[in-house]
Structure 1
Amino acid sequence: MLPRRRLFSFVVTALVICVFCATYDRHAVSTSLRTTTEQAAPDDEASRICKRHRFQPFLNPGARKVYDLFMIDTELDLLEIRLNTLDSVVDYFVIIESAQSFTKVAKPLYVSENLGRFDKFKDKIILHVIDFTNFGNTSEWELESYSRNALYTEVFPTLKDSQRPTHGDVILLSDIDEIPKPETITFLKACQFPERTTIESNFYYYSFQWKHDGKRWLHPQATFFQGDRTILPQDLRGSAGAQSRVIYDGAWHCSSCFSTVAEVQKKLESFSHQEFNQPVFKDPAQIVRRFRNGVDIAERPLEKYSRIENNRDLPSYLKDNPGKFPWFISRDAPNANFLDFEGEGAKSLEEWVGPTPVVWPQ
């Protein structure tokens, strides 16, 4: 039998461990979501999924709608991949676009002008166009924040009939290049999850061939409809990780996974980070070099990417159509599989003879 003092110490230690585990569990969910089905689960299976991750089942998951909210610019290929990958688990895709970039440069309404390409999903797409013409001296960061909130504030109050949200409906918030995995959405629809939930993404750059080293990508976010108490999108995205419960390995993030050099240049010109809008970063031959070799788009020394051979962590639609989108799969071709560049890219940064930044981005 343990002496009284040793017994007391043992009990205190055990209590500390239990408190730590309970606290940790409030902020993390097992990565084993990948083992669940990609299709909407029946109620009994949904109940098992929720219990496995220590969530309570949602009382009527079959009646719960899922809204997928995101902004878009030129990324029509990503939109095609997203719509086809998530069609079976999303009820409505809420999309915002504008005829001006965040830096107020005029641009086409890419989705509006190409809706025929997505006719298969016309009953699910809720497209809203916003106009920055009368916003005066508003900064690009303020316009981005306004646009993100508009996904909710300018759309949800107008929804009617079957599109009208009801309490508890799932709201997903992401950028177009952040795609939740179908099994993650199945889990969220089936379970009672916290109003601030973060979905951690596997973070790829240029294609699914290059994975970002370092910090995890703590987007998309998820919440649920609560009428006037619904968390607005910008607030929701800003709370990533800190106040949220995190679902690990729950999405894909493919940043700068463009089919053309022109799209890369346009992103650099319209990006909120205007320090990237420099001739050396927009040179086509240098862009091809960076994409082929996994070099950061702005030559930042701390941004590193690891090459992945024969990556199978792909959205299902991309797996089924690898020949349709080769630039998402590999950048090994001499032209990095860009559709608007012929020949080979630059061999090194030293080949650049134009102006360079006084201070390079870090």
Structure 2
Amino acid sequence: MLLQPVTNPGKCARSLAVLLSIWAFIYCLSPFNLRLDHDKTSYNDEAIWGSSLNRHDICRPYGWKPYQPRQPSDPPRKLYDLVLFTTELDLLQVRLNTTWDTVDYYVLVESAKTFTGRNKPLLLKRALEETPSRFDAFKEKIIYHQVEYPEEFHPPTASRTSGSGSGPVSPWEEFHLNAMFDQVFPSLEAETKTETPSSSSSSSSSTNSDLHSSYPPSLTHPSSRSSSQNTTSESPRRPHQNDILLLSLASEIPRPRTLGLLRECFFPERLTLSSKMHYYSFSFVRRPSWFSPTQRYEPGFWDQKGMEGKEKMREVEWSHPQATVYRGKKTVGMAGLRYGPRSGSGGSGKGCMGRMMMGMASDWVERWLAKWQGIQTLQNASWTCESCFPALSQFFVKNEEVYGPSHGHRLGADSLSNRDSEKERIVGYVREGKDLWSDIHEQETGEKWVFEEVVNNTDVPSFLLAPEGKEGGRYGYLMERGGRDGGFRDYEVPRVGVEDAAEGTRDGGEERVMKKQG
């Protein structure tokens, strides 16, 4: 068949122009030119945070716009730090001291149930009610809430179903996460402060009384209060549109400069503040097994490696905490904020060209969906100190809460029959930086977790480096675990075998993967 000559070049030109216009429209909507992780910008770069830069300069590297209130009369933007607490009293105190100047209110939520539905003590409530309390200096910003369960909520007790951080452990965890907003903020929305008609000074005193006198602060509807002789006005704790909500566990501590950045900018609705994953203390950092000693854990790794690096970076950093903005009833659900929605990457195809095309397509689709859903990740934006416990008993609590009783033997012991022997093994694992749950993690992720020892680490929450953080050695275990007792307060080194333990200290160093000066 002979090729026919083009008889209407104008029509072809118009068709080509239409196709180019459609392509340009799709390109503008796609995030090809938007880096989802602007990790080449370091939080320690004084050039970015210098006083000469305005908010446009601060927000622009992340693809964000400066925050502007909707009306000049709008109150200042507030930041609520929502923390789901389990047992980490020391880490909570480190968090409060580190982020105090950048947070308006701490919403501390505690449950009498574990993530597997078993009973557990309310350690934080007890600590807050003590006289004196170690948290007395922080109570003016603390909003404490104990999770309440409806009568119809009776999910079965469950063992761990997810260990990679890709989804809730159980319906219990999902309920606890959603309760952090659903059971707290409706009451805060309706909250008012009572003002007496005598004078403005007494009004100020009344406001402070609401925040300081009774503890924990009650979350009661204003209609239940009698105010026949008093006037009411809006409570300072009441949330407003575009206020910042930070969602995390007590062990996930955001960098103060990260929070300062969020205050200055409009950021996506689902923002992940990924963190360095420390284990047992800030002297061990988790590394995937593929991570070479010659590779540097620094901003930019994702961009250098493309989509492959993106997937690998998820293994390097812990994908929590999360941040969003307050939208009233339209606020993103807390469980969905922490764990989803997520789109996978990668594809399957026959042959090299097919895999390449599918990879390019999945890359484009994932980036487009991320932009459309308002998803973004900020790397190295936080610290996480997982299993950084001062007491051995807390390891058993965690094992019960997250992994369930059927995995008791995972704590480094072959049997539960000898608890003292098990404690010794846990101490040995912690001192040497070995994974207590290695078989579970390898089964769930397909790879072993490797720990790098960082000697004299200074990239830690500032409170741990301040004199008050070092005073009395209370937080020493968070910086170093090399002693014979592993830094545990409830463990006494056996008299028999002390010399063997000392010898083990010298030999155990050879088992560590690598050392790095902080």
Partner of 2:481: 331
Amino acid at match of 2:437: A
CA distance in 1, matches of 2:480, 2:253: 19
Decide whether the 8 Å contact of 1:31 with 1:248 is kept in 2. Answer: no
CA distance in 1, matches of 2:412, 2:148: 29
CA distance in 2, matches of 1:162, 1:62: 9
Decide whether the 8 Å contact of 1:31 with 1:249 is kept in 2. Answer: no
Decide whether the 8 Å contact of 1:93 with 1:125 is kept in 2. Answer: yes
CA distance in 2, matches of 1:133, 1:113: 23
Question: 1:43 Cα deviation (Å)?
Answer: 11
Partner of 1:153: 182
Amino acid at match of 2:380: D
- The alignment status of 1:143 with 2:176, answered yes or no, reads no
Change (3 A) 1:36 1:174: farther
Structure 1: unaligned runs, 5 residues or longer:
1-11, 349-362
Amino acid at match of 1:304: V
Decide whether the 8 Å contact of 2:268 with 2:376 is kept in 1. Answer: yes
Structure 2: unaligned runs, 5 residues or longer:
1-19, 159-169, 192-234, 289-314, 344-369, 414-421, 443-447, 506-518
Question: 1:29 Cα deviation (Å)?
Answer: 1.8
Decide whether the 8 Å contact of 2:253 with 2:383 is kept in 1. Answer: yes
Amino acid at match of 1:32: T
CA distance in 2, matches of 1:172, 1:336: 32
Decide whether the 8 Å contact of 1:198 with 1:241 is kept in 2. Answer: no
Partner of 1:91: 104
Amino acid at match of 1:119: D
Question: 1:303 Cα deviation (Å)?
Answer: 1.7
CA distance in 1, matches of 2:269, 2:150: 34
Partner of 1:104: 117
Aligned partner of residue 332 in structure 1, secondary structure? coil
Matches within 5 A, 1:283-294: 283-294=422-433
Partner of 1:314: 460
When normalised by structure 2's length, the TM-score is: 0.59
Partner of 2:285: 211
Matches within 5 A, 1:230-309: 230-239=331-340, 242=343, 243=370, 244-272=375-403, 275-278=406-409, 280-281=411-412, 283-300=422-439, 302-309=448-455
Matches within 5 A, 1:136-215: 136-140=154-158, 141-159=170-188, 160=191, 161-214=235-288, 215=315
Moved more, 61-70 or 196-205: 61-70
Question: 1:49 Cα deviation (Å)?
Answer: 1.2
CA distance in 1, matches of 2:326, 2:45: 25
CA distance in 1, matches of 2:52, 2:487: 44
Change (3 A) 1:187 1:103: same
Question: 1:298 Cα deviation (Å)?
Answer: 2.0
Deviations 1:137-186 (A, max 9, x none): 43451011000000000000000211111110011111111111000000
Change (3 A) 1:172 1:43: farther
Decide whether the 8 Å contact of 2:410 with 2:437 is kept in 1. Answer: no
CA distance in 2, matches of 1:84, 1:339: 22
Question: 1:274 Cα deviation (Å)?
Answer: 5.1
Deviations 1:187-231 (A, max 9, x none): 011101010111110110000111001212111111101112110
CA distance in 2, matches of 1:182, 1:208: 17
Moved more, 149-158 or 103-112: 103-112
CA distance in 2, matches of 1:136, 1:198: 31
Decide whether the 8 Å contact of 1:219 with 1:237 is kept in 2. Answer: yes
Within the candidate set 320, 324, 327, 1:226 is matched to: 327
Aligned partner of residue 80 in structure 1, secondary structure? helix
Change (3 A) 1:273 1:47: farther
CA distance in 1, matches of 2:405, 2:34: 40
Change (3 A) 1:46 1:62: farther
CA distance in 2, matches of 1:139, 1:41: 52
Change (3 A) 1:309 1:162: same
Question: 1:109 Cα deviation (Å)?
Answer: 1.3
Moved more, 43-52 or 283-292: 43-52
Aligned partner of residue 201 in structure 1, secondary structure? strand
CA distance in 2, matches of 1:222, 1:157: 19
Amino acid at match of 1:57: P
Question: 1:46 Cα deviation (Å)?
Answer: 3.4
Decide whether the 8 Å contact of 2:410 with 2:436 is kept in 1. Answer: no
Aligned partner of residue 29 in structure 1, secondary structure? coil
Moved more, 265-274 or 313-322: 265-274
CA distance in 2, matches of 1:199, 1:287: 31
Change (3 A) 1:42 1:75: same
Change (3 A) 1:58 1:185: same
Question: 1:42 Cα deviation (Å)?
Answer: 8.3
Deviations 1:116-151 (A, max 9, x none): 211111121111102459533434510110000000
Within the candidate set 33, 52, 60, 1:51 is matched to: 60
Within the candidate set 136, 161, 169, 1:119 is matched to: 136
Aligned partner of residue 87 in structure 1, secondary structure? helix
Deviations 1:10-39 (A, max 9, x none): xx9xx9xx98x95263411234241367xx
Decide whether the 8 Å contact of 1:74 with 1:110 is kept in 2. Answer: yes
Change (3 A) 1:105 1:25: same
Change (3 A) 1:275 1:186: farther
Deviations 1:100-125 (A, max 9, x none): 32333333211111112111111211
Amino acid at match of 1:332: G
Change (3 A) 1:275 1:49: farther
CA distance in 1, matches of 2:278, 2:411: 23
